[in-house]
């Protein structure tokens, strides 16, 4: 039987990062059940957050390829298509490869088996057409197969959000993302990417039932109360042919249990997880864990954990002093975990006795956007998430994140040269380019990841942060980038430079301007063409702005249409009167307390 | 902008528009309407759009019945669907004196040929099961009453006027009227001068301001009335309901929203088109009591408009004794929209023929105030 200093089970980001370190020092084997290393990375077509060292701004599958290249050059044995079936006494790993069982022995073992998707019980959840989000990603991104045309996504964590964006990139329709909680689970920038494509995120909603006989033909969704019970009477039907469940992941712990590692139930970390120390060593001194198996996080922390476990094994086996490197990695992990989005992880780790030191964040003080008529970046990243790709990319010191990678970037427009490198690296697609001077039109640069690429002088639609039509605009130029985040520079009315966040080809159907009253651009243009150009008169004829939103959403757009058709600048147009109540209110709200 | 007009109508609201439209329909050329803001910016665009014939004087009933005839023909005549709906008017009586008034009025209205009847409390409950009939003694019900969208009606007139060759100037303010030897010779605006011999003052509650330019005293003042609209709900309410006792009216629009208002206890002047929270409180209490099904309906918007109040709450339609061919049609006291088509016709006839032909409006002349006035009771 072959014996290795280190055996790594699982070739995802944690396992590959571990093998990468181990390969430099000890005799190493990495086992993975798939036909290539990479784990979940191979289906991640989006760019990663994080810092430069940990492949920030690189797309997941490219990270996998880089690791594979590195590992293959090292004296590491790689066994793919190998399914580990058990951990046995005397440090033995049994696996099946090509239909044959085989065994290896290890001095030290890293288990990095990752996680699996949680299931969600609902009526007819067994219908063909109900998928886990990961399965859809695999089919679509790895094999180029589309499971459907109209999707409903359950769960607004990063996976659900990213999947929605990726589906939209392929041109299929995502009808909605439903989320049982009252807030979006994933990163704000990921949510924004989906929202500006017009994908609604319905909070406090869940799926009640899949509809269909042979396969999914629709879904019933409903609102839920604070205890996640469905509120009767709020059910509504959506026509979809595919339902993707992305309600979270749970660690795959069987192998750690078999390796006699202690398991604890810590919901903050994802459920049952192996108990381990700061250096990823479990209660079995020869067994380490890393990645989602140890706590449900993301690829960057998984890679650091893999490295950390590997360094400790090198110390154990080769007696090489890596204390300095180890403490650096521990600090890096702490920095990644010091943001508010990692609160759960921190408290989960504390239950295990691992205290994540808090790293102070400098005060966030955004500078006002310069409007001096030069092209400059506009950064829309306010959530504390662990990423500093923009800071690393900026060669002119215009973007500051600082030591704590969770700090939102601080931007100095005076130092910005307009190079737009930050736009292309930002994994959240949260950086735009703007130029607004005296002329009535402005220039806006938008990160764009769709095909076909627009061409210069093409007419497109400008869409707002919620994916609604704003105005027609003209493409000025398209800047291509090797990382496939292109920048589309458009020429648009100055008033909309802060409103438009996405461009799309004009659709056949007419876009709604006023969604409350379902009034289309066409309807408004017809009224203007008939000679009625006063906003107030257009409002009375079409009912635009007369719905429950009171024109909050559409007034500017309507003024833009009037301005475009009449040539009168928006600033010279009358814009109506705001009338109370600014938000709709029930009659019963005005009852005195005793009458309620 | 035309240099010369045969008639200049000051005020592009529903009354001025109806007059100009009628003039053009009667083949008068070179008619010009001057509106200081946009079409339907004044009281017309702010009103609830009720169209009723249940009035307390025979001549008012006649005028209203003529108006209903013209509303029935509106889409064909003027050229736009204005959501006219003859869902009826239901007036509710709670006191003995209201019962007496209603019974007397219904007898008179019937004698004028109106399809009006008294409904008992039980009949009301049967017909409109969602109304809380507690304490209701009876109702007065007229099926051919109804409502329409005043904003659309106003805009429809404006479009028709332009199509028929008339001029409808918006965002134009009259700054003076030139008079020589008690004859009008022209109208000065902030956009230019129009020579004309005939001026119609249809400026609503601001009609006195126009009159005062040439020394004509018009006893009208603006009074603020508040109104609100709810979210749209499925159609359930056919009639416009008036409750004098609880002081409100309510109707459901074509769009599905409910539009309602009241007369404030101490109404502000017509110059003050603000809103009060008390209005919402008071209306909510009344609605929840009388229409319990509305309890959880959302209020979307509130606004206010000015009634052009005359001393007896009835319109003033007359030609000045002092200035030749200065005609005024104002003082509608909250009922201008529903009377406008018939008033437009009458005033056009007065201009062309020197007197009305179709409908007698002599009871609305100015001299009634010197004889002694009988106030219109049926007013919210």
Q: Are residues B39 and A530, on separate chains, in Cβ contact within 8 Å?
A: no
Contact A245, A237 (CB under 8 A): no
Name the residue among A574, A581, A595 with its Cβ closest to that of B299.
A581
Name the residue among A532, A550, A587 with its Cβ closest to that of B295.
A587
pLDDT value of position A593 = 58
Does the structure show a pLDDT above 60 at B301? yes
Cβ atoms < 10 Å from Cβ of B82: 21
Residue A549 forms contact with B (CB below 8 Å) = no
Phi, psi of A410 (to 5 degrees): -110, 130
Side-chain half-sphere CA neighbours of B217 within 13 A: 3
Does the structure show a pLDDT above 90 at A85? no
Q: Are residues A584 and B285, on separate chains, in Cβ contact within 8 Å?
A: no
Nearest CA of chain A to the CA of B129: how many Å?
A: 20
Nearest CA in chain B to A586: B298
CATH code for the domain defined by B87-144+223-306: 3.30.9.10
Q: Are residues A548 and B38, on separate chains, in Cβ contact within 8 Å?
A: no
pLDDT, chain B, mean: 95
pLDDT value of position B177 = 98
pLDDT tens per residue across span B138-173:
999 999 999 999 999 999 999 999 999 999 999 999
Select from B233, B254, B211 the least CA-distant residue to B82: B254
The better pLDDT of the pair B214, B377 is held by B214
Crossing angle for the helix pair A521-529 and A535-542, to the nearest 10 degrees: 120
Nearest CA of chain A to the CA of B215: how many Å?
A: 34
Contact A515, A521 (CB under 8 A): no
The better pLDDT of the pair A477, A512 is held by A477
The better pLDDT of the pair A570, B239 is held by B239
The dihedral through the CA atoms of A580, A584, A586, A589 has a sign that is negative
Does the structure show a pLDDT above 50 at A596? no
pLDDT tens per residue across span A420-435:
999 999 999 999 999 9
Mean pLDDT of B350-369: 94
Q: Model confidence at A372, in pLDDT bands (50, 70, 90)?
A: low
Contacts of B170 in chain A (CB under 8 A): 534
Q: Model confidence at A359, in pLDDT bands (50, 70, 90)?
A: low
pLDDT value of position A486 = 93
pLDDT value of position A144 = 86
Does the structure show a pLDDT above 60 at A594? no
Residue A126 forms contact with B (CB below 8 Å) = no
Spans of all domains in chain B: 7-49+151-220+312-371, 87-144+223-306
Nearest CA in chain B to A590: B281
Does the structure show a pLDDT above 60 at A371? no
pLDDT value of position A361 = 54
pLDDT value of position A47 = 82
Q: Are residues B299 and A541, on separate chains, in Cβ contact within 8 Å?
A: no
CA distance A280 to A90: 21
Q: How far is CA A532 from the centre of its chain?
A: 45
| Adjacent-strand bridge partners of A435 | A443
Establish whether the linkage from the previous residue to B146 is cis, with ω within 30° of 0. Answer: no
Mean pLDDT of A150-167: 94
pLDDT value of position A507 = 80
Share of chain B above pLDDT 70, in %: 99
Name the residue among B255, B284, B303 with its Cβ closest to that of A579.
B303
Select from A290, A307, A309, A311 the least CA-distant residue to A113: A290
pLDDT tens per residue across span B333-346:
999 999 999 999 99
pLDDT value of position A365 = 42
Query: What would the DSSP string read from start to end of A189-256?
Result: HHHHHHHTTT--EEETEEEEEEE-SSS--EEEEEEB-TTSPBPTT--EEE--SEEEE-S-EEE--HHH
Residue A588 forms contact with B (CB below 8 Å) = yes
Residue A584 forms contact with B (CB below 8 Å) = yes
All structural domains of chain A: 2-115+250-351 (3.50.50.60), 119-247 (3.50.50.60)
Contact B329, B308 (CB under 8 A): no
Nearest CA in chain B to A587: B284
B-facing residues of A in 154-213 (CB < 8 A) are none
pLDDT tens per residue across span A221-257:
999 998 888 999 999 999 999 999 998 888 998 899 8
CA distance A330 to A17: 15
Give the residue from A540, A573, A593 with the most B CB atoms within 10 Å of its CB, the best one to mutate: A540
Give the residue from B301, B304, B305 with the most A CB atoms within 10 Å of its CB, the best one to mutate: B301
A-facing residues of B in 45-74 (CB < 8 A) are 45
The dihedral through the CA atoms of B294, B296, B297, B302 has a sign that is positive
Query: In sequence order, what E strands does chain B have?
Result: 7-10, 31-34, 50-51, 89-93, 116-120, 138-142, 146-147, 167-169, 174-180, 183-189, 192-195, 198-201, 221-232, 240-243, 248-252, 257-262, 298-309, 316-319, 326-330
pLDDT value of position A367 = 44
Residue A550 forms contact with B (CB below 8 Å) = yes
The dihedral through the CA atoms of B373, B310, B197, B77 has a sign that is negative
CA distance A294 to A275: 8
- Do domains B7-49+151-220+312-371 and B87-144+223-306 share one topology? The answer is no
A-facing residues of B in 218-257 (CB < 8 A) are 230-231, 255
Does the structure show a pLDDT above 50 at A205? yes
Tokens of A281: 């060593």
Give the residue from A580, A589, A592 with the most B CB atoms within 10 Å of its CB, the best one to mutate: A580
Mean pLDDT of B213-233: 96
For B7-49+151-220+312-371, give the CATH class. alpha beta
Does the structure show a pLDDT above 80 at A559? yes
Mean pLDDT of B12-28: 98
Please enumerate in sequence order all residues whose Cβ is within 8 A of that of A436, keeping only pairs 6 or more positions apart, or say none.
Answer: A371, A373, A442, A443, A494, A497
What strand order describes the sheet that includes A242-245?
A: A130-132, A242-245, A150-154, A173-179, A201-203
Mean pLDDT of B89-103: 96
Name the residue among A584, A588, A595 with its Cβ closest to that of B231.
A584
Among A131-145, A208-222, B155-169, B314-328, the least confident range? A131-145
pLDDT value of position A99 = 80
CA distance A247 to A460: 36
Contacts of A537 in chain B (CB under 8 A): 38-40, 155
Q: Are residues B295 and A580, on separate chains, in Cβ contact within 8 Å?
A: no
pLDDT tens per residue across span B188-204:
999 999 999 999 999 99
Does the structure show a pLDDT above 90 at A579? no
């Amino acid at each position: 039987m072959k014996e290795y200093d280190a055996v790594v089970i699982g070739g995802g980001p944690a396992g590959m990062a571990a093998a990468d370190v181990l390969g430099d020092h000890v005799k190493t084997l990495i086992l993975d059940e798939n036909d290539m290393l990479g784990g979940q990375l191979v289906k991640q077509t989006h760019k990663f957050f994080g810092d430069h060292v940990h492949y920030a701004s690189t797309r997941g599958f490219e990270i996998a390829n880089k690791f594979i290249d590195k590992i293959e050059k090292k004296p590491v044995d790689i066994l793919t298509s190998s399914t580990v079936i058990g951990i046995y006494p005397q440090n033995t790993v049994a696996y099946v490869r090509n239909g044959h069982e085989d065994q290896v022995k290890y001095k030290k073992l890293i288990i990095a088996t990752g996680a699996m998707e949680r299931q969600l019980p609902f009526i007819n959840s067994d219908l063909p057409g109900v998928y886990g989000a990961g399965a859809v990603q695999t089919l679509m991104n790895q094999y180029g197969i589309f499971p459907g045309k109209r999707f409903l996504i359950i769960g607004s964590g990063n996976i659900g959000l990213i999947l929605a964006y990726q589906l939209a990139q392929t041109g299929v329709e995502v009808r909605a993302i439903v989320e049982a909680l009252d807030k979006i689970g994933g990163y704000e920038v990921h949510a924004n990417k989906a929202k500006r494509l017009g994908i609604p995120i319905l909070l406090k909603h869940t799926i009640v039932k899949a509809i269909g006989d042979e396969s999914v033909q629709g879904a019933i969704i409903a609102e839920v109360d604070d205890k996640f019970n469905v509120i009767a009477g709020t059910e509504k039907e959506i026509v979809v042919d595919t339902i993707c469940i992305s309600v979270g992941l749970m660690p795959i712990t069987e192998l750690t249990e078999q390796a006699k590692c202690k398991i604890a139930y810590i919901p903050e970390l994802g459920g049952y997880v192996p108990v381990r120390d700061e250096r990823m060593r479990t209660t079995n001194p020869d067994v380490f864990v890393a990645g989602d198996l140890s706590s449900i996080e993301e690829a960057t922390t998984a890679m650091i954990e893999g490295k950390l476990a590997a360094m400790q094994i090198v110390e154990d086996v080769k007696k090489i002093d890596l204390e300095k490197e180890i403490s650096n990695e521990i600090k890096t992990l702490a920095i990644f975990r010091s943001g508010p989005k990692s609160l759960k992880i921190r408290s989960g780790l504390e239950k295990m006795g691992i205290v994540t030191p808090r790293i102070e964040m400098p005060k966030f003080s955004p500078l006002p956007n310069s409007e001096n008529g030069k092209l400059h970046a506009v950064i829309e990243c306010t959530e504390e998430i662990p990423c500093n790709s923009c800071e690393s990319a900026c060669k002119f010191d215009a973007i500051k994140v600082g030591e704590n990678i969770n700090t939102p970037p601080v931007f100095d427009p005076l130092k910005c040269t307009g190079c737009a490198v930050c736009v292309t690296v930002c994994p959240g697609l949260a950086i735009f380019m703007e130029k607004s001077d005296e002329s009535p039109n402005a220039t806006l640069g938008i990160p764009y990841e769709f095909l076909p690429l627009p061409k210069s002088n093409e007419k497109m639609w400008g869409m707002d942060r919620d994916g609604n039509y704003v105005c027609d605009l003209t493409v000025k130029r398209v800047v291509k980038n090797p990382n496939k985040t292109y920048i589309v520079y458009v020429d648009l009315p100055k008033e909309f430079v802060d409103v438009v966040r996405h461009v799309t080809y004009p659709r056949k159907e007419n876009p709604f301007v006023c969604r409350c009253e379902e009034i289309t651009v066409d309807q408004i243009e017809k009224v203007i063409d008939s000679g009625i150009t006063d906003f107030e008169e257009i409002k009375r004829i079409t009912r635009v702005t007369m719905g429950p939103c009171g024109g909050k959403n559409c007034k500017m757009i309507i003024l833009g249409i009037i301005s475009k058709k009449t040539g009168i600048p928006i600033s010279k147009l009358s814009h109506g009167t705001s009338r109370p109540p600014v938000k709709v209110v029930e009659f019963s709200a005005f009852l005195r307390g005793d009458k309620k | 902008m035309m240099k010369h007009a045969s008639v200049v109508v000051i005020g592009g609201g529903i009354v001025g528009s109806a007059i100009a439209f009628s003039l053009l329909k009667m083949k008068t050329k070179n008619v010009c309407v001057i509106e200081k803001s946009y079409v339907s910016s004044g009281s017309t665009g702010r009103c609830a759009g009720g169209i009723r014939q249940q009035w307390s004087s025979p001549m008012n009933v006649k005028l209203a019945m003529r108006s209903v005839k013209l509303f029935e023909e509106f889409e064909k005549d003027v050229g736009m669907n204005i959501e006219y709906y003859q869902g009826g008017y239901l007036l509710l009586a709670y006191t003995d004196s209201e019962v007496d008034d209603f019974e007397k009025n219904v007898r008179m209205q019937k004698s004028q040929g109106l399809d009006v009847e008294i409904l008992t409390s039980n009949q009301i409950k049967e017909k409109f099961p969602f109304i809380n009939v507690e304490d209701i003694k009876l109702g007065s019900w007229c099926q051919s009453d109804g409502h329409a969208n005043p904003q659309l009606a106003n805009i429809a007139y404006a479009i028709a006027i332009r199509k028929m060759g008339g001029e409808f100037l918006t965002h134009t303010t009259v700054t003076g009227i030139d008079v020589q030897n008690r004859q009008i010779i022209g109208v000065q605006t902030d956009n230019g001068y129009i020579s004309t011999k005939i001026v119609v003052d249809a400026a609503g509650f601001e009609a006195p301001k126009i009159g005062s330019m040439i020394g004509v005293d018009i006893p009208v003042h603006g009074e603020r009335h508040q109104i609100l609209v709810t979210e749209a709900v499925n159609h359930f309410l056919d009639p416009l309901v008036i409750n004098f006792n609880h002081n409100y009216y309510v109707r459901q629009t074509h769009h599905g929203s409910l539009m309602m208002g009241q007369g404030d206890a101490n109404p502000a002047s017509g110059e003050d088109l603000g809103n009060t929270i008390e209005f919402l409180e008071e209306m909510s209490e009344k609605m929840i009591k009388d229409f319990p099904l509305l309890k959880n309906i959302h209020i979307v918007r509130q606004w206010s408009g000015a009634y052009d109040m005359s001393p007896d709450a009835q319109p003033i339609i007359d030609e000045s004794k002092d200035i030749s061919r200065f005609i005024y049609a104002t003082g509608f006291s909250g009922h201008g929209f529903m009377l406008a088509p018939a008033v437009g016709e009458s005033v056009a006839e007065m201009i062309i023929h020197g007197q009305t032909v179709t409908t007698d409006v002599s009871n609305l002349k100015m001299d009634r105030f010197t004889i002694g006035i009988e106030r219109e009771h049926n007013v919210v």
